[in-house]
Structure 1
Amino acid sequence: MSTTELSVSTPATAPGRRRGDLILFMAIAFGVSWACWGTAIGLGGPATPDSPTYLPFLLGAFGPLVGALVIRVRRTRRGEPVPEHAVRFRPAALLWAPLLMVAAAGTVLLAAVIGQAAGDTTLSWSDARGVMAGMGGPAAFLVSMAVSGPLSEEPGWRGTAYPRMRATMGRFQIALVLGVVWAVWHLPLFFVEGTVQNGLGLTTPGGVLFAAGNIPMAMLVTCAYERAGVLASIAVHFAVNTTMVLLSVQTPATQALITGCQLVLIAALLATGPRAAGSGTRVPAGGPAGAPARDGGSAAAGAL
């Protein structure tokens, strides 16, 4: 092969590698998670710490993280830089993450308060304490909520899948696609006793709203990722999950209100955040546009 041929054909391999990485990531994320959750379904019993079902249930949440680590190893072995659209870590993320976490939790709390005023649900601190006690106390509850969901998923969905999809898709397209993928990925949990999804039911209005709610939720954590990287997306994911569990949000009306409040927050973040029009514009995170993010101290943790 001549030098000219090599120079022409080499760039063309990037889209193929990107697609290959995405397919491999999805296969691992679904394979690991569904295998573990299938085991939990087979064992039966509630997904509580004192049940043998709990371990495979918990391990299933790590499918996206395992996929992300595999892709990171592959990328490192190929000597490739961090994907162009990965949002790098900046000290400002340490400020944005808690602010976005409070805002995300506020959408759930506001929806629950409106629902209570309308007679749909009743907020109870004693119920929240009961939830934490059932998980082994406040510390164990918070650790469980942080690990099973935010930490085990966001390095995969946002840190790995999002930057590669962003090379050819807009943020709204990605939110739609990842929202649907996310909903399908959660499907086995409807059959694991003791999960939020099982309590809702697969074919009930609550179950349908849970599935549909993955799309605005995907957009919300995407906005957080674009603003301050994986740390912020973890914070937002943690805030929404934890607040919903503590408030025992299950009624369709309150679920719909949460979606509405999230859409308002999304609109605010889009209006005040980085302008990233089009599929080819990189979203900066405190650095100059177009500065490549390569391996090293400047790369975001979880930008795989």
Structure 2
Amino acid sequence: MPTSNYATSVHPARPAHPATPSAPDRRRSDLILFMVIAFGVSWVSWSAAIGIGGEAMKSPAALPYLVGAFGPLIGALVIRVRRRRRGEPVPEHAVRFRRSTLFWAPLLLVLASASVLSAALLAHEAGGPALSWEGAKDVMNDMGGPAAFLVSMVISGPLSEEPGWRGTAYPRMRASMGRLQVGLVLGVIWAVWHLPLFFIDGTPQKELGLNTPGGVLFAVSTIPMAMLTASAYERAGVVASIAVHFAVNTTMVLLDVKVPVTQAMIIGIQAIVAVLLLATSRPASGPAPTAPTAPTAPATPADGAVRA
């Protein structure tokens, strides 16, 4: 009875190549890479704008300031290319464009704008500033007219951020977290990402100030805003989250929201709306079922091997 045959039957040959990374490992690495790119591009560019000095939208600080806004979008594009090169499908919790988007996106846009407008009206009743259409017209004229104003409001913020925060980070975080938990965590990350803008002249964050009630409320507001855009993403994808982001930013700029009482009202109303939307919407897809591990068949003894 040859000894070599017995050894072969007891110790099967090991695979020649190491196992490929599991789906959670790839998801985690993609999420980390996205965050590094989003923060790296934005913070390096905004640090350059801070070092150059001057106002955000005036040369020479305008270029690095604008480039910094696209950090999340650049990160999203890198992750998308990386995923396609690996031949992987779209993440399970990603929401693709579908026909219902044409219904939900405009509806959620109106709802998001109404949340800001109603908060401003309630704040006025509580002693806050009155709404002024003249101030809104001045803002649009300063930016080159209504068309230029609307285009800038779409690009700066909604388009430059939502494909990253919601389209890339959100579905990967949803694989291991609940929707409310992702909204809270991503809202905090979003607030930290905005931090350099408090040191660039000409930005809304600089006007509010970092160590002021307005600055603190701005940081807090990113959490219900993250939940609101996430609820839009769950229902109709990135297009809907872009629409909500655009509606909130545009309405706040036109109403010149800077008073803490108005900011607090907006935070409260958006939190209520976001929670209701998340609670009443069906998740885009459930967590991936864990497939049972098939039992390993015993190795067939080689010819001449000892059988029990």
Q: How many residues align?
A: 278
Return 5+ residue gaps in structure 2 as ranges.
1-11, 290-308
Distance 1:44 1:276 in 2: 45
- Asked whether the equivalents of residues 92 and 288 of structure 2 are also in contact (C-alpha less than 8 Å), the reply is no
Is residue 192 of structure 1 aligned with residue 200 of structure 2?
Answer: yes
How much identity, in percent, do the aligned residues show? 67
Number of the residue aligned with 2:240: 232
Letter aligned with residue 280 of structure 1: P
CA deviation map 1:234-284 (0-9, x unaligned): 00000001111110101111101001111221133134311579x7279xx
For normalisation by structure 2, the TM-score amounts to 0.85
Is residue 36 of structure 1 aligned with residue 45 of structure 2?
Answer: yes
Distance 1:93 1:7 in 2: 44
- Which runs of structure 2 are paired with 1:44-55 in the superposition (5 Å)? 44-48=53-57, 50-55=58-63
- Asked whether the equivalents of residues 157 and 246 of structure 2 are also in contact (C-alpha less than 8 Å), the reply is yes
Secondary structure of 1:23's partner?
Answer: helix
Distance 1:8 1:263 in 2: 47
CA deviation map 1:82-139 (0-9, x unaligned): 0011011111101100100000010100011111122211211111111111112111
Of 261, 266, 272, the residue aligned with 2:269 is 261
Distance 1:158 1:95 in 2: 19
How much has 1:16 moved relative to structure 2? 1.2
Is residue 124 of structure 1 aligned with residue 135 of structure 2?
Answer: no
Secondary structure of 1:162's partner?
Answer: helix
Of 178, 182, 196, the residue aligned with 1:170 is 178
Of 280, 289, 296, the residue aligned with 2:287 is 280
Moved more, 166-175 or 24-33: 166-175
- Which runs of structure 2 are paired with 1:110-259 in the superposition (5 Å)? 110-259=118-267
Distance 1:236 1:185 in 2: 19
Letter aligned with residue 138 of structure 1: P
Of 25, 33, 38, the residue aligned with 2:34 is 25
Number of the residue aligned with 2:294: none
Letter aligned with residue 122 of structure 1: A
Q: Aligned-residue CA RMSD in angstroms?
A: 2.1
Letter aligned with residue 78 of structure 2: V
Number of the residue aligned with 2:79: 71
Number of the residue aligned with 1:14: 23
Distance 1:51 1:246 in 2: 25
Number of the residue aligned with 1:98: 106
Q: 1:7 to 1:47 in 2, by over 3 A?
A: same
Q: 1:4 to 1:90 in 2, by over 3 A?
A: farther
Secondary structure of 2:198's partner?
Answer: helix
Distance 1:263 1:26 in 2: 25
Distance 1:163 1:153 in 2: 15
Secondary structure of 2:153's partner?
Answer: helix
Letter aligned with residue 212 of structure 2: T
Letter aligned with residue 253 of structure 1: V
Return 5+ residue gaps in structure 1 as ranges.
283-304
Letter aligned with residue 191 of structure 2: A
Distance 2:188 2:168 in 1: 17
